[in-house]
Amino acid sequence: MRKGYGAIWRRARPDRESLSRFAAVYALLYFTRLAPTMQSLAALGAIVLALLALLKLARRGMRKAIWRLRNRLIVAYLFIAVVPIILIVALVEIAGYAVIGQMAVYLVNTELFAPA
């Protein structure tokens, strides 16, 4: 199932149908210049339904945004906590390898060039 604003708009079918009907009646009355009172009422109905549909879309969008914010916070916490620990462990391992190499060279030099 596709998610997004199109799917949300499809779920709000009765609101969408009423909004499109009010908008069509308003457009018809506007272009024919008949019944200005009915034109105003149709415009008012279309505006109210558009605001309700926009409010419904905004609420669902906020829920998705909060979910995305949660995921972003989890990733940020991973970078703040886990990645530095991994880097510290890697640096300790590299430093240990270097120190062992230096110790090996020192031991070899002391054995080869030690006075007997």
CB-based contact 49:14 (threshold 8 Å): no
User: Domain total for the chain?
Assistant: 1
Please state, rounded to an integer, the average pLDDT across all residues of the chain.
83
In whole angstroms, how large is the CA radius of gyration of the chain? 35
Structural domain harbouring 94: 5-112
Residue 105 pLDDT level (bands cut at 50, 70, 90): very high
pLDDT value of residue 104: 94
pLDDT value of residue 84: 93
User: 113 — alpha (psi -120 to 50), left (phi > 0) or beta?
Assistant: alpha
73, pLDDT greater than 80: yes
Tens of pLDDT, residues 11-64: 655 566 777 777 888 888 888 888 888 888 888 888 888 888 888 888 888 887
111, pLDDT greater than 80: yes
pLDDT value of residue 13: 59
